Amino acid sequence: MQFNEMGLDPRILKGIEAMGFETPSPIQEQFIPVFLKEPKDIVGLAQTGTGKTAAFGLPILQTIQPFNRVPQALILSPTRELCVQIAREIKEYSQFLPEIVITPVYGGADMNAQVKALRGGTHIITATPGRMHDMIRKNKVDLSQISILVLDEADEMLNMGFQEDLDAILSMTPKEKFTLLFSATMPSEVASIAKNYMTNPLEISVGKKNSGAENVEHIYHMVHAKDRYLALKRVLDFVPEVYGIVFCRTRQETGEVAAQLIQDNYSAEALHGDLSQAQRDFVMDKFRNRGVQILVATDVAARGLDVNDLTHVVNYNLPDDFENYTHRSGRTGRAGKSGVSISIIHMKEHGRIRQIEKTLGKKFLRKAVPSGKEICEKQLFYLTDKIQEVAVNEEEIGPYLPSVFEKFNHFSKEELIKQIVSLEFNRFLDYYGNTPDLNIPDSHEVSKKSRQVQPTLEGLTKFRLNVGLSKGISPKEVINFVVDATGRRNVEIGRIDLFGSYSVVEVEDAAGKALLRNSRGMSYRGTFFDVEVYNENRGERFQRGGRRGDAFPRNEGRERRDDFKRFERKRRY
Ligand code: ADP
Ligand code: MG
């Protein structure tokens, strides 16, 4: 089906044409005509880069009544960047419908200015849930005529803890409206939003659920954890024209890796939530305009960043949440292009690769980290290509040439080439001249260390909470929870271990019963606590995101700090 067979307004078709869209993407093809014919609640499942924005944006434009300058559509998305991007994209589709106003509303920016923009009259609001909820609470926005509500990147909004805001917004918008939910994945939290707030939604799913982009090659390199950064450098040096994102797991790691790369002369910038909005904008623009080759980013900061043509995605660390791997690798191989997703792992992460392969339904290829010699070769040919291809500005350089020729008079052609190439190339030779192989030989593979059981001091019992780092829980919040549940300010708490999807906390025996009983019905960022006595033998460490701290050798300090957090015992609160 073509765009002009979908029942779209001719002015919208003109806009699509002006943007250069020739044929609709699968989600657009399945979504647009169905919704235009008979509007209904729809759940759209599709990986990133499949054109979801137009899938909901075009039908929205079609339903807006321009003469009625009140918000008629509300589009919620997880980050300010996405919010702005969606507004910009829809503005472009509507270039031949100039009377339609689209207003982005997001946190971290002056609320009064946004309120003013809304007062000036608008038809479509793109918003982050937190700021929208704020506006509703302060009575700054009229949602009484919203007829279409979009939840874009719903899984990510929930990951980011927007559940409460979403609940509030969903219940404040008119009952008679159509709700469209888009998500790359369908975890139970998303399914329950669909269940609670949507009426018999039609499910449209494009491609296999959870599958990465088809034309992405998944590669991993296995190195010792201490060599991770060195391996990253080699990966980057091996593709001189890399234009890609290096994903890290934490803000801190992102900052550290970026700073190190910059110091080592790479064209890199960090993108993470600790930066101010202005800094983030600056970095994103710079990356989009190719003013920088490598973006080092956290999952959240990079989510939805619409940059096409990435050559590589590098997983400096595997994500805690496997679903994020899909998102990460989906940043490359977009729009029919081929892409490469490289993961740098250490020996103990082998099992996680297998897990991701299963989730993704695709095989990873284990490749050797490029050797110093291979990198030098690659860089050398890159350099010679560059010398061949460089455009010579005859007019400008002409006047200087006679004296330049004069200077190089005594060099032979061969000598001169050697000199020029060395100028650029010496730093690779210096660096890689005699470097060791970083690869771990196969025979070495994954020695399964026997698990030591951490002894618990007398009088304390270990409890398992179903909430962990992935929900953003902190030790302090675990303590507050235990204090609240037991109702005892001076309850004795021992060690607290935070894992990806769960936590383990030692609590004095005497308070155990109260903890188990009273925790029922208490919740953390939208998840009800489920507390049980921790069972050492449950084999938790191979579950999603959760790994036992004991699996990490002591000398991997930095590794361990990010993967797993432990707080030493015997404090009284
Ligand atoms: P998603 O939200 O699914 O991740 P986007 O809506 O951001 O994807 O679209 C990804 C890119 O593809 C954007 O640059 C968009 O302009 C472009 N795009 C969308 N639909 C089409 C189409 N039918 N033809 C060509 N390019 C398209
Ligand atoms: Mg999108």
Tens digits of per-residue pLDDT, 261-287? 999 889 999 998 888 888 888 999 899
519 and 399 co-located in one domain: no
Q: Single out the residue in 391, 410, 432 at which a domain terminates.
A: 432
Atom of ligand 1 nearest to the CA of 3: 23
Rounded to the nearest angstrom, the distance between the alpha carbon of 196 and the centre of ligand 1 is 29
Residue 101 CB partners (closer than 8 Å, separation 6+): 69, 120, 121, 122, 123, 124
Q: Are 571 and 508 in contact (CB under 8 A)?
A: no
- Would residue 210 count as lying in a domain? no
Residue 517 CB partners (closer than 8 Å, separation 6+): none
Hey, whose CA ends up nearest to atom 5 of ligand 1? 51
- Would residue 189 count as lying in a domain? yes
Q: Are 148 and 173 in contact (CB under 8 A)?
A: no
Which of 183-197, 236-250, 437-451, 489-503 shows the lowest per-residue confidence on average (mean pLDDT)?
A: 437-451
Residues in the chain, total: 573
98 and 114 co-located in one domain: yes
185 and 93 co-located in one domain: yes
Number of domains in the chain: 4
Helix 277-288 vs helix 80-93: angle between axes, to the nearest 10 degrees? Answer: 50
Q: Single out the residue in 432, 457, 472 at which a domain terminates.
A: 432
Atom of ligand 1 nearest to the CA of 335: 12
366 and 408 co-located in one domain: no
Model confidence over 172-200: pLDDT tens digits? 899 899 999 999 888 888 888 898 889 99
- Would residue 211 count as lying in a domain? no
**Which of the listed residues 23, 29, 50, 308 should we mutate to test ligand 1's pocket, taking the one with most ligand atoms within 8 A of CB?**
50
Rounded to the nearest angstrom, the distance between the alpha carbon of 56 and the centre of ligand 2 is 10
Around Cβ 208, how many Cβ atoms within 10 Å? Answer: 13
**Which of the listed residues 13, 21, 329 should we mutate to test ligand 1's pocket, taking the one with most ligand atoms within 8 A of CB?**
21
Hey, whose CA ends up nearest to atom 26 of ligand 1? 21
- Would residue 324 count as lying in a domain? yes
- Residue-averaged pLDDT of the chain: 84
Rounded to the nearest angstrom, the distance between the alpha carbon of 563 and the centre of ligand 2 is 29
341 and 250 co-located in one domain: yes
pLDDT grade for 55, boundaries at 50, 70 and 90: very high
182 and 324 co-located in one domain: no
Q: Among the bound ligands, name the one nearest to the CA of residue 89.
A: 1
Can you give the CATH number for the domain in which 170 is found? 3.40.50.300
**What range does the domain containing 396 cover?**
373-432
Can you give the CATH number for the domain in which 464 is found? 3.30.70.330
Rounded to the nearest angstrom, the distance between the alpha carbon of 82 and the centre of ligand 2 is 7
Average pLDDT over residues 239-260: 93
- Would residue 38 count as lying in a domain? yes
Average pLDDT over residues 247-254: 92
pLDDT grade for 304, boundaries at 50, 70 and 90: low
Tell whether the model's pLDDT for residue 573 goes beyond 70.
no
Ligand 1 neighbours (beta carbon < 6 A):
21, 24-25, 28, 46, 48-54, 306, 308, 335
Share of the chain above pLDDT 90, in %: 40
Rounded to the nearest angstrom, the distance between the alpha carbon of 48 and the centre of ligand 1 is 9
Looking at residue 47, its pLDDT comes to 77
Tell me the C-alpha distance between 158 and 183, whole Å: 11
Looking at residue 463, its pLDDT comes to 92
Tell whether the model's pLDDT for residue 443 goes beyond 50.
no
- Would residue 438 count as lying in a domain? no
- Would residue 159 count as lying in a domain? yes
- Would residue 520 count as lying in a domain? yes
Q: Single out the residue in 432, 462, 481 at which a domain terminates.
A: 432
Rounded to the nearest angstrom, the distance between the alpha carbon of 45 and the centre of ligand 2 is 11
